[in-house]
Every structure is written in C-alpha cells, then in structure tokens.
Structure 1
Amino acid sequence: MDTAACYLEPTWNAGRDFAQREIAGELVMLNLLRFRAIADYSQSPELAPPRPIAGAAAYDRYVAHTLPHLRKSGGDILFRGEGRPFLIGPEGERWDRAMLIRQKSRGAFLAFAVAEAYLAGIGHRTAALADSRLLPRVELPR
C-alpha cells in the first residue's frame, strides 16, 4: 500500500467545491480512519495527555469533545465501527474505523466545521490520524 499520500484535511479546491454544491437537506459523511500507533501531539501540545496514548485513544478524545458540538449543530453519529479487511477491495488497504455522520444541511456542516468551540479540540484528531477519507453523500430519492 502506498503510504506517501495521506489525507487529513480537505484541499482548498475540494472545500470550495463542497461549499458551492447545491445540497438540499440532510447529508451523510462516510469517514474512513487509519490511526497512528502512538498519537502525535506535536501540533497541539496543550491537548497532550501526561503519557503517550494510542491514536485510537486520541481519536476517542476527539469524538468526546466533538459530539456535543456536532449535536448542537443538528448532526449526529449514525454508525461507528471497527475496521476489518475488505470483503471486496484491495488486500493491502486497511482502515481502522468507519463512521457515518449525519448533518442536517451543508450549511450546518460548514458552520460546525469552523466553530471555535469545535476547533478547540481538533488537535486530538490531528494527533490520532495517519490517514483518512471523508466522502459526503446525499440520499437518492425513493
């Protein structure tokens, strides 16, 4: 598996394109997460625990910090599960966790993502992740 490219934040173009998408109503974000063996708090030393912790534990701290802000913005976690090898997919590709996050609207998500109270804990996410994917999805009409 190629480890040269890691994706932890949206590119400017991806962020602009998402902000300009016309999305009516709810959306669901598919999150695929790969954790560091040991969390790296070098970018947010003020959030670092007294002793080193695993990336998964740092991500759990991020979720604990984020969930009240997510819910206040109209969103919630629909599913959070442990990763396992693909049934269909590349043998060498692995994700430690998958999550589905519901948000009431594109605008609510964008406001949530830049809220100061939420951003105060984002260092846990940065410390936790070795790689990630975030795929916004809109439900098809029935």
Structure 2
Amino acid sequence: MRIRDVADYTANPELTPEVRISGAEAFNRYIEHTLPFLRESGGEIMFLGDGGEFLIGPEDERWDLVMMIRQSSAQSFLAFSSHQDYMAGIGHRTAAIEDSRLLPMTELTIPN
C-alpha cells in the first residue's frame, strides 16, 4: 500500500475527523474498525510491516506498508468485505491509501 501524507476524506465526509490527520493515522483507524469483522469472518492479520526500497523491482515505485491477511476461503473474504457494518468504516482506508495492490494467494504444500 502507498499511504497518503495527509488523509483525504473527500469521498467519505461523514468520517472526517475534526482535525486533519495523516494517512497513517487514518489507516490505523481503519484497522481498529476492521479487526472485529475480520476476526468474526475467520480471518486474521498474519503480517503488517513497513515497506522499503526494492532489492529487485521498479526504481520509481514505493510501497509504504505490506499486509498479509489469512482468510479461510475466498467466500469468507467476500462475505467479510461486503459486511454492512465493515463497509461503514471503509472510508478510513480510502482516506489513507493513495494506491494499493491486492494479490490473492493459495498456500502450497512444500514436498519433504
């Protein structure tokens, strides 16, 4: 994820804080709002970390945060992501993130 310097609540004015906050602060609000719904759906955050410079990759790209979520199935993720109460706070994510990528993965078994 690429995080905005200053959160942009233009798309969700009902969530706008009284004072301007950073994109990182808005993302923290998103995580606090989201965790109960994620856990309820059987999901969990496996990893959340700061991004850095690429060892191999485009020099003109920067990614500030990396997050890995484990979910039991694609159906569980879709149910979580369309939950009405979860959606009520997704504007914090929108305000925080300038750009992002979502890469679904399936765990493989490593042969012995």
TM-score, structure 1 normalization: 0.75
Please tell me the residue identity of whatever aligns with 1:130.
E
Alignment match of 1:80 (pick from 48, 52, 57): 48
Please tell me the residue identity of whatever aligns with 2:98.
A
Alignment of 1:125-140 (within 5 A): 125-140=93-108
Alignment match of 1:60 (pick from 21, 28, 32): 28
* Aligned-pair CA distance for 1:141: 2.6
Deviation string 1:36-68 (CA, Å, 9 cap, x unpaired) is: 111111111111111111111101110110011
Output the CA distance in 1 between the equivalents of 2:12 and 2:60: 31
Alignment match of 1:92 (pick from 60, 84, 87): 60
TM-score, structure 2 normalization: 0.95
Deviation string 1:67-104 (CA, Å, 9 cap, x unpaired) is: 11000000000000001101111122110000100001
Please tell me the residue identity of whatever aligns with 2:100.
S
Output the CA distance in 1 between the equivalents of 2:71 and 2:22: 28
Residue matched to 1:114 = 82
Structure with the larger strand share: 1
Question: What is the DSSP-based 3-state SS (H/G/I as helix, E as strand, rest coil) of the residue aligned with 1:136?
Answer: coil
Structure 2 portions without partners, runs of 5+? none
Please tell me the residue identity of whatever aligns with 2:77.
F
Output the CA distance in 1 between the equivalents of 2:86 and 2:26: 15
Alignment match of 2:18 (pick from 22, 32, 50): 50
Please tell me the residue identity of whatever aligns with 1:119.
M
Question: What is the DSSP-based 3-state SS (H/G/I as helix, E as strand, rest coil) of the residue aligned with 1:121?
Answer: coil
Output the CA distance in 2 between the equivalents of 1:83 and 1:53: 21
Structure 1 portions without partners, runs of 5+? 1-32
